[in-house]
Amino acid sequence: GDTIQMARYLPLLAARGAKLTVAVQNPVRSLIESMGGGINFIDGSATPAGYDLRCSMMGLPLIFNTTLDSIPAAEGYLRADTDRQAVWQTRLAQRWPQFPARPKIGIVWSGNSDHNNDQNRSTTLQQWSGLLDFPAYWIALQKDIRPPDMATLRACSHIAHYPDEMRDFVDTAALIGQLDLVIAVDTSVAHLAGALGKPVWIMVPANPDWRWLVDRTDTPWYRSARLFRQDRVLSWDRAFDQLRAALAAEFSASA
């Protein structure tokens, strides 16, 4: 997620004449490489040979003296692969051949269980049951599912899941490109949807990560994002109530 969020600065560095070598984690390397711009990308664990300056990607906002009013490319700076989008369009049409007028909504209910703030940012799929009653085509955007959630997912025949077909973040981006909305907890997929400029509703803990600020329902990092916050630690009740109301307001005419 950090890499996806900060990739927006790479073209700015290149535009200033820097010869860039960027070490990127393998799961997102193909996605970030699609930005082009003559940037040399290497494996995230590799050590570049010969350089004058080194900077963490998370340090780039400071390098560019970023303020809330000068965050670059908030409207979207990544693009989903056209050919893979066509594959996903066909795949979804095969899943729902009639395709009546219903929104296609991707969901992410939990992140990496090893994350040091996982208990605050992740939910269980069971907690989404009241939301998933809304008439929509629901698509799980998580590749890895925890055992309790897998049992719930198997019982939810109305949720599509493509763990084998989502080979990397390029595929995930292409699938998101076919959706009307993404609803996600604070994970890399939330950043991906925002970087693509896709409408994304992000569920934010009561004690949020720095990037989500406080006391606001929008974020200057992604103009297409809307934030739904906990009102108290470990309680998602208000956020789900607000999400249900927002779905009804946004899609009731098409549902």
- Residue 38: per-residue pLDDT: 87
What mean pLDDT is reported for the chain? 94
Give pLDDT tens digits for 31-43.
999 888 889 999 9
Closest CA to 236 of 147, 76, 127, 104: 127
How far is residue 58's CA from residue 94's CA, in Å, rounded to a whole number? 41
- Residue 103: per-residue pLDDT: 95
Q: Is residue 100 scored above 80 in pLDDT?
A: no
- Residue 254: per-residue pLDDT: 59
Give pLDDT tens digits for 103-142.
999 999 999 888 888 999 999 999 999 999 999 999 999 9
Mean pLDDT throughout 50-72?
A: 94
Q: Over the chain, what HEC string results?
A: CHHHHHHHHHHHHHHCCCCCEEEECHHHHHHHHCCCCCCEEEECCCCCCCCCCCCCHHHHHHHCCCCCCCCCCCCCCCCCCHHHHHHHHHHHHHHCCCCCCCCEEEEECCCCCCCCCHHHHCCCHHHHCCCCCCCCEEEECCCCCCHHHHHHHHCCCCEEECCCCCCCHHHHHHHHCCCCEEEEECCHHHHHHHHCCCCEEEEECCCCCHHHCCCCCCCCCCCCEEEEECCECCECHHHHHHHHHHHHHHHCCCC
- Residue 130: per-residue pLDDT: 95
Mean pLDDT throughout 155-159?
A: 93
Exposure b/e, 39-57, CB count within 10 A at least 16 = b:
bebeeeeeeeeeeeeeeeb
Q: Is residue 27 scored above 70 in pLDDT?
A: yes
Q: Are 149 and 110 in contact (CB under 8 A)?
A: yes
- Residue 12: per-residue pLDDT: 93
232 phi, psi to nearest 5 deg: -155, 160
